[in-house]
Amino acid sequence: METYLWITSVWGVYLGIAVFVLGMGLRIYQWATTPKSPVRLGMFPKPATKSGRFFKMLKDTLIAPHSAKIEPKMWIFAMIFHVAALAAFVGHLRILGEYPILPELLGGEHAMNTFAAYAGSIAGTLMLVGVIFWIVRRTFGPYKNLSVPEDYLLLFLLFGVIIMGDHLRFVYGGFIHADTYQEWFRSLLAFKPMFPEKLLSGNVGWSLGTHMLFTDLFLIYFPFSKLVHTIGSFAANYVRSE
C-alpha cells in the first residue's frame, strides 16, 4: 500500500500539478499570441461602458442567465455541480493550513471539524448528483450523438474523484480530519514527502491513493480538454459584449 500511496499521492501529485500548471500556461499563451478576430463579434444588447461590459461578462459567466431561460433543468444541475465543486475546492484548502478566525467563530477545533464534515458531505453529494445527471443525459438522443469519448472520459474521471472523495468523507471522516491530510500535503509542498501513521494504518491509504489517482489523471488531462472553459468562458463572454 505504501508504494501505491507513493505513486499516486506523491509522484502523481507532483506530475499532475506540473502538467496542469504548464498545460494551462501553454493554453493561455496560445490564446494570447493568436491575433484577435478582425471582426467585432459582440451581440446586443450590450453595455456602453467598459465597466458595464466587464460586469455583464461576470454575470454571463457565473450565472449564465440566458442558458437558465432556455434550459432550466440543465442550468440547475450545472449550477449545483459548479457551486458544489467550488465549495469542495475551498474546503480542500484546509489541507494547506487551518482557516483563520473560522474555527474560533464556530467554537473550537471540534466544531470546525463537524462543520467541515457536514459541508463536505453536502458538497460531495451534490457534485455526485451533477455528474450522474450528465452521465445519464449523455446516454440519450441528440446528447449522445453529440458526445465524443472525451466527454465520457472526463465524466468517468470526475466520477472517480468524487466517489472516492465521498468515500473518504463518509467512511473515514469520523476519525481522520484535515490535520492528518495537512501533514501529508504540507510535506509534499516542502519536498520532504511523508505519510502520517494514521494514513498508513488500516485501509484508508487505499482510498486516499485511489482518490489521488483519479485526481492526478484529471489534473493531467484538464489542460488538454474542454475543461479549459473554466478560464476561456470569461474571455468568450467578454467578446459577446464587445
Partner 1 sequence: MEKVQLETLTGVIDKKMNRQLKQYIDICARCAICKDACHQYVGTGDFKYLPARRAELIRQIYKRYFDKAGRFMPALYEAREPDDNLLDELYDSTYACTGCRRCMYYCPFSIDTAWILSVAKAILIAAGRGNEMLGQLADAAIFKGDNAAMFEGVMLSGFDDISEEVRAITGDPEHRVHVNKEGADVLYVALAGAHSIRPAAVIFEEAGENWTISMFEAANYGFFYGDTEKARLITKRYIDEAKRLGVKEIVVPECGHAYRVAEFFYEAWSKEPMPFKVTHILEKVDDYIKSGRITVDKGLIEGKVTYHDPCQLGRNGGKFEQPRDIVKAVTDNFVDLTPNRAEQWCCGGGGGIVAMEEFKDVRLKSGAKKVEQLKASGASVLACPCENCRLQIEELNEVHELGMEIWQVIDLVVAAMPLPGNQKGAEATE
Instruction: Quote the CA–CA distance of 241 and 171 in Å, as a whole number.
Output: 48
Residue placing its CB nearer to partner 1 in the complex, 208 or 220: 220
Residue placing its CB nearer to partner 1 in the complex, 151 or 179: 151
In the complex, least distance from residue 154 CB atom to partner 1, rounded to whole angstroms: 9
Q: Is 186 exposed, middle or buried (0-12, 13-18, 19+ CB in 10 A)?
A: middle
Residue placing its CB nearer to partner 1 in the complex, 10 or 155: 155
Instruction: Tell me the three cell numbers of residue 62.
Output: 457565473
In the complex, least distance from residue 210 CB atom to partner 1, rounded to whole angstroms: 23
Using DSSP's 3-state secondary structure scheme, residue 49 falls into: coil
In the complex, least distance from residue 188 CB atom to partner 1, rounded to whole angstroms: 27
In the complex, least distance from residue 233 CB atom to partner 1, rounded to whole angstroms: 4
In the complex, least distance from residue 84 CB atom to partner 1, rounded to whole angstroms: 17
Residue placing its CB nearer to partner 1 in the complex, 70 or 190: 70
Q: Which residues of 148-173 are buried (b: 16+ CB within 10 A; e: fewer)?
A: eeebeebbbbbbbbbbbbbbbbeebb
Residue 175 amino acid letter: F
Instruction: Quote the CA–CA distance of 169 and 162 in Å, as a whole number.
Output: 10
Residue placing its CB nearer to partner 1 in the complex, 9 or 61: 61
Using DSSP's 3-state secondary structure scheme, residue 239 falls into: helix
Contacts of 83 (CB under 8 A, 6+ apart): 126
Q: Report the interface residues with partner 1, using CB under 8 A.
A: 27, 30-32, 34-41, 43-46, 60-61, 64, 66-67, 69-71, 74, 78, 142-143, 145-151, 153, 224-226, 228-229, 232-233, 235-237, 239-240
